[in-house]
Structure 1
Amino acid sequence: MARLAGVSQKTVSRVMRGEPHVRPEVREKVLRAAQQLRYRPNAAARILTSGRTGRIGVVALGGRLYGPTTLLGAAESAARRLGYATIVAHTDEDDEHALAGPIERLLEQGVDGIILSDDIDEGPVSMVVDVPVLTMGRFHGIAAPHRVEAAERADRSGYVATRHLIDLGHTEIRHICGPERWWAARDRADGWRAALSDAGLPVVEPTEGDWSCEGGFAAGLRLLEDAAMTAVFVANDEMAIGLIRALHESGRRVPDDVSVVAMDDIPAARFLTPSLTTIVQNLDAMASEGVELLVEEIATPTPSGRRMQLGEPVLAVRESTAPPR
């Protein structure tokens, strides 16, 4: 395999063990050679020689929501690129204590690290995980000796989206939030409140949805009773689609009568009529960087873990927002 890839046997071993600090083009050569030779690593031998299983466990929310599903797919791709297989343990949004069980199952199956991507308030959780952990969200009560965390202010997305509406001249800005149990819903609502408070504008309690188009439509119907409203920040794109439909059916035009800004930048967002102004979530980049840092932590543990430095939210300004009439 080393001869076919044009690298040393030591480099082949490093790639097969999933070690970091191998140039992407070199890793690609080795993996392509392994595929051509139909190489299958001996899992038992690898565990004996390295003490690692070559597997990363992922605790992910069951369902079809865009954000969690996209993050899961990106994490699996990044792990595979680095020579790791993934084992997924799904949780249930309706289970108040759904986190501990999947983590225990993954540890029993043998994994070198765990990715936690659920973003739901599980209530009191207290457990120690003895392998490196990547957390993308809030996980109170989870103790891990080696941890990779996303270093971000989660409320900034709501703040930036709402600030855009304020800068356009809107003063009556409402919010359709996600389910209360989701940390992401709370954080985005906090950012919306903070932007309004900083501008000295009124804060009307959010209207709760369920992340779906149907939930956005139902929330939109409730908001139609608010005659003063000129703009809405919606916690995700799918609910924004439902809101726009409700406004359309009531005869209120977007953005002439009501401006709408959302979050996620799903693939359909720029093809809607009107195209949707939204916060861009680069989930592929987030997952890729996070998994790379996790693999580094697996290979070379550090006393204080590692942190992902996420930048300021990016707003894609499109046709659904405009100054109020």
Structure 2
Amino acid sequence: MTTEADGRAAPDDKSSRAANIFDVARLAGVSHQTVSRVLNDVPNVRPATRERVEQAIAQLRYSPSPAARALVTKRTRTIGMITPGSTEYGPTSTAMYFNVAARAARFSVDTMTLPESNAAAVRSSVEALLRQRVDAIVLVVTDIAVLDVVLSLDLNIPIVAVAASTRRSPAVVSIDQYRGARSAVRHLVELGHTQIFHLAGPPDAPDAIERIRGWKDELAGNRLDVVEALHGDWSARSGFDLGTRLTDIRPGTAVFAANDYMALGLVAALDARGLRVPDDVSIVGFDDVPEAEFLLPPLTTVRQDFAALGALIMQKLLIAIEEPENVAVSTPLATSFVVRRSTAALER
């Protein structure tokens, strides 16, 4: 140790720099490889050894840099996420809850937003994320053609698509839009309605496709007529515009709207025509957006559990990263049905 002119101890070289993995190893009395295993939650480390390493990390205030960790593990603990360039409730909720699940698993998320959701844009985004050496990729699919692109990709890292589809694949996770739609229509049938219209989402949107399929099958199962669905763009404005076009609607009919915002626009359109909800027309939405219970009337709707979806995506990615041979097909997550005051029994 050297001394300064006034007799005080000069700072040691080690105290003037950040601790590294070798400092932690020396203090804990283990190899730097063991420290690396503890940092990356590798299970084959004895509890007593793990405790010594963790104590050394705390004592030295060691914080491994992402670059250093990537060199040791060949991983960046970063997941690339590709989302549509929209503010729709489903995709934005999926992205938010996936980020929550990723942080809980100590992964960061690098998000790319696509102004246009098409095959060329998706391929370009995937290539950009690969250059950033992400450990896996998540893609929120809003165009059915994009799902085919995802399933055809041959990458050296896992990729998971969030998409409602009849196609089952280890690379796809979803919430069960089909059964959710059937539950909505079944509720209206049980209330005595025999003419049930559908305001659908965009014709190429996977969620909209599955909700149409559920609507049609539930009507067919109850031997009720199916009329042509009217397609909107998920917005309240499109729900209002479609509501003005539903010239066949009259007291006693019901409408299943593909999402809550379209249902909101429909309520306004019916009010402008002098029709009351639910006295004249019953309406069911889909999503259970936070505003749904505060609408006038409060909206009966199908609730999606986006927190569970985010956790499922992360769970699938962890298995795909650590144990790729154990990745299996996931069962679509169930929806739940929320009855409020926008639906009523049909008086005969």
TM range (shorter): 0.7 to 0.9
Matches within 5 A, 1:81-92: 81-92=104-115
Task: Write the distance in 2 (CA, Å) between the matches of 1:185 and 1:74.
Answer: 21
Higher deviation after alignment, 226-235 or 258-267: 226-235
**Cα gap change, 1:271 to 1:131, in 2 (>3 Å):** same
Q: CA deviation at 1:301?
A: 2.1
1:136 matched to which residue of 2?
162
2:249 to 219, 226, 231: 226
Q: Report the AA paired with residue 316 of structure 2.
A: L
Question: Deviation digits for residues 72-117 of structure 1, max 9, x if unmatched?
Answer: 0111111111111111111234646432111111111111111121
Task: Write the distance in 1 (CA, Å) between the matches of 2:58 and 2:307.
Answer: 25
Which ranges of structure 2 fall in alignment gaps of 5 or more residues?
A: 1-18, 25-29, 44-53
Q: CA deviation at 1:41?
A: 2.8
Tell whether the 8 Å contact from 1:79 to 1:85 is kept in structure 2 after alignment. Answer: yes
Task: Write the distance in 2 (CA, Å) between the matches of 1:199 and 1:280.
Answer: 23
Asked if residue 273 in structure 1 is aligned to residue 299 in structure 2, the reply is no
2:93 matched to which residue of 1?
70
Q: CA deviation at 1:207?
A: 1.0
TM-score by length of 2: 0.78
Tell whether the 8 Å contact from 2:118 to 2:143 is kept in structure 1 after alignment. Answer: no
**Cα gap change, 1:286 to 1:156, in 2 (>3 Å):** same
Q: Report the AA paired with residue 219 of structure 2.
A: L
Which ranges of structure 1 fall in alignment gaps of 5 or more residues?
A: 3-7, 21-30
Q: CA deviation at 1:50?
A: 0.9
Task: Write the distance in 1 (CA, Å) between the matches of 2:35 and 2:184.
Answer: 47
Task: Write the distance in 2 (CA, Å) between the matches of 1:277 and 1:10.
Answer: 57
1:209 to 232, 235, 252: 232
Tell whether the 8 Å contact from 1:61 to 1:91 is kept in structure 2 after alignment. Answer: yes
Q: Report the AA paired with residue 255 of structure 1.
A: P
**Cα gap change, 1:222 to 1:36, in 2 (>3 Å):** farther
Q: CA deviation at 1:43?
A: 1.9
Tell whether the 8 Å contact from 1:17 to 1:54 is kept in structure 2 after alignment. Answer: no
SS at 2:324 equivalent: coil
Asked if residue 121 in structure 1 is aligned to residue 144 in structure 2, the reply is yes
Asked if residue 50 in structure 1 is aligned to residue 57 in structure 2, the reply is no
2:334 to 312, 315, 322: 312
Tell whether the 8 Å contact from 1:233 to 1:261 is kept in structure 2 after alignment. Answer: yes
Tell whether the 8 Å contact from 2:174 to 2:333 is kept in structure 1 after alignment. Answer: no
**Cα gap change, 1:246 to 1:256, in 2 (>3 Å):** same
SS at 1:241 equivalent: helix
Question: Deviation digits for residues 19-69 of structure 1, max 9, x if unmatched?
Answer: 79xxxxxxxxxx9xx999986431222112111111001111111111101
Question: Deviation digits for residues 95-151 of structure 1, max 9, x if unmatched?
Answer: 46432111111111111111121231236634212211222215899x9xxx45327
**Cα gap change, 1:290 to 1:138, in 2 (>3 Å):** same
Higher deviation after alignment, 173-182 or 120-129: 120-129
Task: Write the distance in 1 (CA, Å) between the matches of 2:270 and 2:38.
Answer: 54
Question: Deviation digits for residues 173-232 of structure 1, max 9, x if unmatched?
Answer: 000000111011111011000000000001010111110111111111111443376100
Q: Report the AA paired with residue 132 of structure 1.
A: P
Alpha-carbon RMSD across the aligned residues, in angstroms, is: 3.3
Q: Report the AA paired with residue 313 of structure 1.
A: T
1:149 matched to which residue of 2?
172
TM-score by length of 1: 0.83
Task: Write the distance in 1 (CA, Å) between the matches of 2:200 and 2:276.
Answer: 21
Compare the two structures and name the one with the higher strand fraction. 1
Identity over aligned pairs, percent: 37
Compare the two structures and name the one with the higher helix fraction. 2
**Cα gap change, 1:229 to 1:210, in 2 (>3 Å):** farther
Task: Write the distance in 2 (CA, Å) between the matches of 1:279 and 1:229.
Answer: 22
1:321 matched to which residue of 2?
343
